[in-house]
A and B are shown apart, each in its own frame.
Chain A
């Protein structure tokens, strides 16, 4: 029973990591940059949904839609203002800019919405007034929020995979990812493709924000930063750039963290989890599903 409940708590945490990791990996895979501000876009998404629901009394799905729209716009604006001028610069410069944007968003949130924590409404995914259902004669409780998170995660992963494999735009994205100059020569608008990538990544961040705060209902300006870093780790673990890899990496990281806390030590949970990750990456440096790309000189 302990095994099952630790598994469920791991999957619940892992699916939140996974959904954030999808956004990271998407942007990295195509634009070849680490968008460290992703975690903070998540926070903005959660705030928008919170205010839509609590202050304006809109139904939750309108709130989610609204936060997706605002995050998409935010993502595109960030890309235009902060990253696009650096398209030709060294990747390190872009990385530093991304960290700057992350701090900017956190502090803007502090000014706008103050630091006092807000309790995110937990009633979004209740069915019949209940927050979950029990199995094994009530010994094990599974909340609907977890189910919704996992379903969302799988749906998004499949949709993203299909999108990049089958559509014209997706093909353009893969082309940009493989070689920007060649893609441009083939008539692909590289800048527009990257902007669209950011729009999609940020839209996903909004969904991730709502799901994160539904599962763990404290909302403050730093809400997105730690899960963001964990999700980034998950994306690297799964093989950064690979969409199924992000999903797998997120889930595994969550389950690993949960197992460590249940069976080994709550005090050293992070140390043990990251220790295991380091060993795994030493054995397989490209991550679980990462492709090994030979650089032709």
Chain B
């Protein structure tokens, strides 16, 4: 019995020794540890992987310059709030100092609450729901908030005279979709755009869209606004095609990705418009270099999520440099200096020049209209 006790004590002491050693190693940090969660698997994996890949490129570039050094780690959350929180916890165990938040809205709403409790600076590339930045002091966004996307879309449709009678189909159980819808409607009313049909679907009723489309068609809608992710949007467009209904389709950033569906009939999405702050075909020098590098490394054209993530890492690096932050600062200190920088600095990135952030954490930049032509995005302006 005594032997066993002695053994246990020995083991405990050894473990204690190891943890102490681990603690020592941490103080000799040589890089800022940046963590993020995103759907690397699951139905929204295309976004998570785009963000992770682009963030890796940005970190490599910054480290190669020899200035401040960054270390990046992405954890999978499968677009699930609970998994995102456990992913966040494992990032904390890893020693994360700055948090890139979650890629999609629902998980990010969960992780931002945790980050606010623990005082981590959070800059999400793409979680566009307002809850991510409202009512907390840690959340910042690189993408537009959902409301901004909605009102910008209405403004764009009105400015360009894209449609006289507008139909909206939205996903009633998704905060992203309803968030865009609300401001779209408010702005449309202000601009005297006529919304003739407003229909919804939810998780259980997302296979057959005949009723929604028929309603839009019967009421003579010549433009259908689709504030949703691309998977249901593709189904809607292909069913409309079968019905012989061909309005102008207008989407927001969730539509980005529709061209990457395997085996998709790209002729169906020809002419689909979407509002997004990033255009991979742009001749801009920075964009072209990023697109080239991304293609070489991952074999596909980066989407807007990738560009936002790339900008996130650069914006953080710029803020850290401005603030002369050091590697041994803990998350609380970093939160303080980064918040100060972000609310005062201007940042030029792939997704816009002269970006600024307000005290809530919302970004100001101007969106670009895009149209799908010959299975590629082309700038509308």
Q: Which residues on A are within 8 Å of B, measured CB to CB?
A: 2, 5-6, 9, 12-13, 50, 54, 110, 114-122, 131-132, 138, 141, 143, 216-218, 220, 222, 226-227, 229-230, 257-258, 261-262, 266-267, 269-270
Residues of A within 8 A of B325 (CB): none
Residues of B within 8 A of A2 (CB): 214, 218
28 examples of A-B residue contacts, CB within 8 angstroms: A2-B214, A6-B210, A9-B214, A13-B207, A13-B208, A114-B45, A115-B41, A115-B42, A115-B43, A116-B46, A117-B262, A119-B238, A131-B242, A216-B208, A216-B235, A216-B239, A217-B238, A218-B234, A220-B43, A222-B43, A226-B203, A226-B206, A261-B211, A262-B215, A266-B200, A266-B205, A266-B212, A269-B201
Using a CB-CB cutoff of 8 Å, which residues 214-252 of chain B contact chain A?
A: 214-215, 218, 231, 234-235, 238-239, 242-244
Among A9, A12, A110, which residue has its beta carbon within 8 angstroms of that of B42? A110
CB distance from A176 to the nearest CB of B (A): 34
Q: Are B261 and A141 in contact (CB under 8 A)?
A: no
Residue of A nearest to B172 (CB): A267
Given contacts A122-B238, A143-B242, A266-B212, contact A216 B207 (CB under 8 A): yes
B261 near A118 with CB under 8 A, answer: yes
Least Cβ–Cβ distance between A113 and chain B, in angstroms: 9
Contact A118 B263 (CB under 8 A): yes
Q: Which residues of B contact A267 (CB under 8 A)?
A: 172, 199-200, 202
Residues of A within 8 A of B182 (CB): none
Partner of A119, one of B46, B172, B202, B262: B262
> Measured between C-beta atoms, what is the minimum distance from B267 to chain A in Å?
12
Q: How many B residues face the partner with a CB closer than 8 A?
A: 38
Would you call B204 and A258 a contact (CB within 8 A)?
no
Check: B376 CB closer than 8 A to any chain A CB.
no
Find chain A residues with CB under 8 A from B39 CB. Answer: 115
Would you call B265 an interface residue if the criterion is a C-beta within 8 Å of the partner chain's C-beta atoms?
Answer: yes
Q: Is the CB of B207 within 8 A of A118?
A: no
Is B212 a contact of A119 with CB atoms below 8 Å? no
Cβ contacts under 8 Å, A110 to chain B:
41-42
- How many whole Å from A296's CB to the nearest CB in chain B? 40
- The verdict on B322 contacting chain A, using a C-beta distance below 8 Å, is no
Query: Chain B: which residue is nearest A50 at the CB level?
Result: B263
CB distance A132 to B242 under 8 Å? yes
Q: Are A117 and B208 in contact (CB under 8 A)?
A: no
- B117 lies within 8 A of chain A by Cβ: no
- A131-B242, A216-B235, A220-B231 known; A6 and B214 CB under 8 Å? yes
Beyond the given pairs A6-B214, A216-B207, A230-B204, 17 more chain A to chain B contacts, judged by CB atoms under 8 angstroms and listed by A's residue number, are A110-B41, A115-B39, A117-B43, A117-B261, A117-B262, A118-B263, A131-B242, A143-B242, A217-B235, A218-B234, A258-B210, A258-B211, A261-B210, A266-B199, A266-B200, A266-B205, A266-B212
How far is it, in angstroms, between the C-alpha of A54 and the C-alpha of B263 when the chains are bound?
8
In the docked arrangement, what's the CA distance between A226 and B207, Å? 9
Q: Which of B159-191 contact A (CB under 8 A)?
A: 172
Residues of B within 8 A of A131 (CB): 242
B282 at the interface (CB under 8 A from A): no
**B19 located at the interface, meaning its Cβ lies under 8 Å from any Cβ of chain A in the complex:** no
Q: How near does chain B come to A123, taking the closest CB pair, in angstroms?
A: 9
A200 to B202, CA, bound (A): 33
Q: Mark contacts of B29-63 with chain A using CB atoms, 8 A cut-off: 1 yes-contact digit, 0 otherwise.
A: 00000000001011111100000000000000000
Given A2-B214, A119-B234, A220-B231, A270 contacting B263 (CB threshold 8 A): no
Cβ–Cβ contact A258 & B208, under 8 A: yes
Candidates A13, A121, A261; contact of B263 at CB < 8 Å: A121
B residues within 8 A CB of A114? 41, 45
B12 an interface residue at 8 Å Cβ cutoff? Answer: no
Contact B207 A227 (CB under 8 A): yes
Contacts of A270 in B (CB 8 A): 202, 204-205
Q: Given A216-B208, A218-B231, A266-B211, do A116 and B244 touch, yes or no (CB 8 Å)?
A: no
Decide if B264 is an interface residue (CB 8 Å cutoff): yes
Assembly CA distance A270 to B39 (angstroms): 28
Residue numbers in B under 8 Å from A218 (CB-CB): 231, 234-235, 261
B194 lies within 8 A of chain A by Cβ: no
Contacts of B42 in A (CB 8 A): 110, 115
Taking a contact as CB atoms under 8 Å apart, the answer to whether B265 and A119 are in contact is yes
A13 to B201, CA, bound (A): 15
- Tell me if B260 is interfacial: C-beta within 8 Å of chain A: yes
Q: Nearest Cβ in chain A — how far from B361, in angstroms?
A: 30
Residue of B nearest to A257 (CB): B205
Sorted nearest first, the 10 A-B pairs with minimum C-beta distance are: A261-B211, A9-B210, A119-B264, A266-B199, A115-B45, A216-B207, A118-B262, A267-B200, A119-B263, A262-B211
Q: Judge whether A116 and B200 touch: CB under 8 Å.
A: no
B201 contacts which chain A residues (CB < 8 A)?
266, 269
Question: Across the interface, which residues of B come within 8 angstroms of A227, CB to CB?
Answer: 207
Give the residue among B41, B205, B215, B261 with the most A Cβ atoms within 10 A. Answer: B205
Residues of B within 8 A of A143 (CB): 242
Among B208, B218, B234, B260, point to the contact of A12 (Cβ < 8 A). Answer: B208
Minimal beta-carbon separation of B355 from chain A (angstroms): 30
* A141→B243 contact, CB < 8 A: yes
Which of A6, A12, A54, A218 has the most chain B CB within a 10 Å cutoff?
A: A218
What residue of chain B has the Cβ atom nearest to residue A230's Cβ? B204
A269 and B231 contact, CB distance less than 8 A? no
